[in-house]
Amino acid sequence: MAEIVVLGAGLGGTLMAYEMSDQLRPDDRITLIGNGPTYQFYPSNPWVAVGWRERKEIEVDLTGIMRKKNIRFLTSAAARVDPQGKAVMMQDGTAIPYDYLVIATGPELAFDEIPGLGPSAYTQSICETGHAEAAFAAFEAFCKAPGPIVLGAAQGVSCFGPAYEFAFIIDTELRRRKIRDQVPMTFVTPEPYIGHLGLDGVGDTKSLMESELRNRHIKWITNARIKTVHADRMDVEEVADDGSVKAAHDLPFRYSMMMPPFRGVPAVSGIEGLVNPRGFILADSYQRNPNFPDVFSIGVCVAIPPIGETPVPVGVPKTGFMIESMVTATAHNIGALLRGQEPDIKPTWNAICLADFGDGGVAFVAQPQLPPRNVNWAAEGKWVHLAKVGFEKYFLRKIKAGTSEPFYERYLLKQLKIPKIHHPKHGAKTPQKAG
């Protein structure tokens, strides 16, 4: 019997539990550890923050689903990972032993690294659904007394898509309320250029995003480093290519949403050999930790070096489809280990992204996500908004059904030639379901 523990019940962890269940031998067991029983579809948080969705519409109670799939589901938070002792220590003092551990915790939101940043201070957040609800309450109050808005991302952020989405969605909502003319807007980002996205752009995202900002009368500041956030203004430094301060900006606001820096969660931070200095999990091309071979990692918690040097720190995003490719590879590789074989499946890290702007949007495909790429494509149009709505419904239905990749999704991806995994060379076959 083998104990497989999945730490984190977000997008990656939930799908990991689903896919891993197909790889088990009869006596093996999966334990999923989540901080509460509820799955939240975070890509819909920008809609929650303007009142287009309610929290209950994007949440799924996983308790019954995991029971039906014979997955042990623990909903109390983990305190610490002990890779030497091969156990996850829980906050109640109990230890959950493992033979294989998959870390899928996501990041800790490092609001404290910038004075005045975050929901407990002066800016809103859409990184969690609870934050998005608070952002909507603040937005409703703002609309009664409109003024300047400052939006964007702080230095060290590795997820830029939601910042752009929210800027355009809030612009759309303000126009619907007939008060857009009363709201000067500024987009602040550490990216070296608009549309960089932590990926050195995808297709022509630079021109697409710049054009969208211009058309919506949203000013922008790139290479931006936030120094301090006050109750009614933000101190921002614009950094030159040589690292010197090119300009200092004093930006007044009545409403602000800024994506915070990310770092590893406390349960893993500082563990030598497991994490990098920011607390992200070290992993090889099989998603396996090089120092603790019984530990795998997937999703935002994985350490990925930045794409080149930038004047202000810019992280690399882990998009949904990229995470799903990590999940599939990891499930197959642990399945191989259960049968006495070695991991031989690598994720493609291909990316498919739909960025909704409320009344349109931008879609891109990057194969792989990190350059140089075999496919580097981006397009815009009203169809993207409709596609994002459809994807939300489809993905939530998939979570409720307890499946990771229905056959029709697999068929469509095959027809589009967007694979999740690299098949091993020399005629080796992809591991099948364990018997």
Catalytic positions, written as ranges: 159, 353
Q: Are 65 and 400 in contact (CB under 8 A)?
A: yes
Q: Among 352, 344, 346, which residue's Cα sits nearest to residue 378?
A: 352
Rounded to an integer, what distance in angstroms lies between the CA atom of residue 111 and that of residue 263? 10
* Radius of gyration (C-alpha) of the chain in whole angstroms: 22
Rounded to an integer, what distance in angstroms lies between the CA atom of residue 377 and that of residue 14? 29
The torsion angles phi and psi of 394, rounded to 5 degrees, stand at: -65, -45
Amino acid at 306: P
Length of the chain: 435
Residue pointed to by tokens 């990229």: 322
Rounded to an integer, what distance in angstroms lies between the CA atom of residue 33 and that of residue 23? 19
Q: Are 47 and 89 in contact (CB under 8 A)?
A: no
How far from chain centre, in Å, is Cα 344? 26
Rounded to an integer, what distance in angstroms lies between the CA atom of residue 152 and that of residue 204? 20
The torsion angles phi and psi of 282, rounded to 5 degrees, stand at: -75, 135
Residues 6 or more apart whose CB falls under 8 angstroms from that of 303 comprise 275, 276, 278, 280, 281, 282, 283
How far from chain centre, in Å, is Cα 350? 15
Residues 6 or more apart whose CB falls under 8 angstroms from that of 409 comprise none
Q: Which helix (H) or strand (E) holds 139?
A: helix 129-144
Provide the 8-state DSSP code for 51.
T
